[in-house]
């Protein structure tokens, strides 16, 4: 707490429009109570910077004092036990939860500032949920074109062309006019991914995207993710798939007790973990024969 307490900055302006103008030069504004220099978290390289984040549900403190950087064009894997708060962290980044303390900087802007417009932030951040959350009253194609048409004001024809292309990419073009209830779990998950990708977000958050996919498709999705990264996508991926974390991620972050217990390159984490909690976690997975 104390580090941040000393010098802090905040922004009067809302986050910029959907287009990703990288960290504009913003004025530093003196806070009402305290003033200081801007602590963008040193910004620049890190598209997403999380600083001393805290989030609790009632008395259950899920995230305690969490700091984390996701640099531009990188894929960061988030691993940790069930209930360690991976999903919660992603929801906080997407402003679907109000944080209790700490800050989240996107392109150097503090998006937890109450003056920031949450909707604008969310258009630049895509998320795919653990449970797919498709809209059951719409067809697959309508699910995918909803945001482009309503938020980005793309015409129906263009949106549907984009949507079909995206469905093609996830191998579900023939299900375009099906209702989500008629799809298998894996098919639903692919639609959810397509829906998040079609908005061309700056940052993608994936919550267990591969958990419902069959092994054949996991490969395809991994290719898709790799491809996305080539296109300049920054990604934060919560996952239970250690093989995924090992092969695709640039960096691996291990969550425990509401904080980052350890982070580093996949080699560092998987081959030479230093934190005892990481060591125990990885040993148990190894025993399960899954690494």
Partner 1 sequence: MPDGWTPSPIERERLAYRRTRTRRSALIAATSTIVLLAVGILVVINTPGWPQFRDSFFDIKYGWQVLPQIAEGLWLNVRLMVVCEIVILALAMAIALARTLRGPVFFPVRAAAIAYTDLFRGLPLILVLYMLGFGMPSLRVSWLPSSALFWGCVALVLSYSAYVAEVFRAGIESVHPSQRAAARSLGLSHGQTMRHVVVPQAVRRVLPPLLNDLVSLQKDTGLISVLGVIYDAVLNARIETAATFNYTPYVVAGLLFVLLTIPMTRFTDWVARRQGWTGAGGAP
Ligand X SMILES: Nc1ncnc2c1ncn2[C@@H]1O[C@H](COP(=O)(O)OP(=O)(O)OP(=O)(O)O)[C@@H](O)[C@H]1O
Beta-sheet pairing, 60-71 with 46-57:
antiparallel
CB 188 within 8 A of CB 180: yes
Distance CA 35, CA 220 (A): 50
Name the residue nearer to partner 1 (CB basis): 112 or 210. Answer: 112
Query: What six digits make up the tokens of 1?
Result: 């707490």
Residues 113-142 that bind a second copy (CB under 8 A): 130-131
Among residues 246 and 277, whose Cβ is nearest to partner 1?
A: 277
> How many residues does this entry show for the chain?
291
Quick one: angle between helices 185-197 and 215-230, nearest 10? Answer: 10
Residues that bind partner 1 (CB under 8 A): 1, 4-5, 8, 10, 18, 31-34, 52, 54, 59, 61, 64, 91, 94-96, 98, 100-103, 112-115, 118-120, 122-127, 129, 131, 133-137, 146-147, 150-151, 179, 181, 195-196, 199
Name the minimum Å distance from CB 86 to partner 1.
Answer: 16
| By the rule CB under 6 A, 62 interacts with ligand X | yes
Least distance in angstroms from the C-beta of 118 to partner 1: 6
* Least distance in angstroms from the C-beta of 82 to partner 1: 18
Beta pairing, strands 60-71 & 109-110: unpaired
Segment contacting ligand X by CB under 6 A, of 21-29, 76-84, 223-231, 258-266: 76-84
Specify which residues 29 forms β-bridges with.
10
Coil, helix or strand at residue 242: helix
Q: Which residues bind Mg ion (CB under 5 A)?
A: 87, 130, 185
């Amino acid at each position: 707490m104390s580090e941040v307490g000393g010098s802090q900055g905040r922004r009067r302006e809302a986050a910029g429009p959907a287009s990703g103008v990288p960290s504009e030069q913003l004025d530093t504004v003196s806070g009402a109570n305290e003033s200081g220099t801007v602590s963008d978290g040193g910004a620049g390289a890190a598209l997403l910077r999380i600083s001393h984040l805290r989030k609790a549900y009632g008395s259950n403190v899920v995230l305690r004092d969490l700091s984390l950087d996701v640099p531009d064009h990188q894929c960061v894997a988030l691993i940790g036990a069930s209930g360690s708060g991976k999903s919660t962290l992603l929801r906080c980044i997407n402003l679907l939860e109000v944080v209790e303390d700490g800050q989240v900087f996107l392109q150097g802007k503090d998006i937890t500032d109450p003056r920031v417009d949450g909707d604008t932030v969310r258009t630049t951040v895509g998320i795919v949920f653990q449970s797919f959350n498709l809209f059951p009253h719409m067809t697959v194609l309508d699910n995918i074109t909803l945001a482009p048409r309503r938020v980005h004001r793309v015409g129906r024809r263009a949106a549907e062309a984009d949507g079909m292309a995206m469905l093609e990419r996830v191998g579900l073009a023939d299900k375009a006019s099906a209702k989500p209830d008629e799809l298998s779990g894996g098919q639903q998950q692919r639609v959810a991914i397509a829906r998040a990708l079609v908005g061309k977000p700056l940052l993608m958050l994936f919550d267990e995207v591969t958990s419902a996919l069959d092994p054949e498709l996991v490969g395809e999705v991994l290719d898709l993710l790799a491809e996305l990264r080539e296109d300049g996508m920054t990604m934060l991926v919560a996952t239970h798939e250690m093989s995924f974390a090992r092969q695709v991620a640039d960096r691996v972050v291990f969550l425990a007790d509401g904080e980052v217990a350890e982070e580093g390159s996949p080699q560092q984490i998987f081959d030479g973990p230093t934190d005892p909690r990481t060591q125990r976690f990885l040993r148990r997975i190894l025993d399960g024969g899954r690494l």
